[in-house]
Amino acid sequence: NAGVTQTPKFQVLKTGQSMTLQCAQDMNHNSMYWYRQDPGMGLRLIYYSASEGTTDKGEVPNGYNVSRLNKREFSLRLESAAPSQTSVYFCASRDRQKNQPQHFGDGTRLSIL
């Protein structure tokens, strides 16, 4: 049972390049979330998907798009990467109907030069 799997684990981009971060969960959870973690800022919510077919903005959505591909997968896309998007990105999932807490993946470390 892998839980929440994120790919890639590391990536270096140049300013202006595009990139899709992948996330998949095998716990049959209906809700999925994308966060970024920066020193001194803690974890901040970028986008979330409360259930398959829905997505909503979080605290810091600018510069990102998301796709809830199916119940298992939730991807985060940077269309034109900027140095300010250098961060560690975490995906999480949750069984909303059982009001359970979120479970996190191990993150994607993204550097934009």
Partner 1 sequence: QKEVEQDPGPLSVPEGAIVSLNCTYSNSAFQYFMWYRQYSRKGPELLMYTYSSGNKEDGRFTAQVDKSSKYISLFIRDSQPSDSATYLCATHGSSNTGKLIFGQGTTLQVKP
Binding site residues, partner 1, CB under 8 A: 4, 31, 33, 40, 42-43, 45, 48, 50, 56, 58, 90, 92, 94, 96, 99-107, 109
> CA-to-CA distance for 113 and 53, rounded, in angstroms?
34
Q: Which are the contacts of 39, defined by CB distance < 8 A and separation ≥ 6?
A: none
**Complex with partner 1: residue 4 or 78, whichever CB lies closer:** 4
Name the minimum Å distance from CB 16 to partner 1.
28
**Complex with partner 1: residue 79 or 106, whichever CB lies closer:** 106
Give the DSSP H/E element, type plus range, for residue 36: strand 31-38
> CA-to-CA distance for 37 and 45, rounded, in angstroms?
9
Name the minimum Å distance from CB 60 to partner 1.
12
**Complex with partner 1: residue 17 or 22, whichever CB lies closer:** 22
> CA-to-CA distance for 70 and 59, rounded, in angstroms?
23
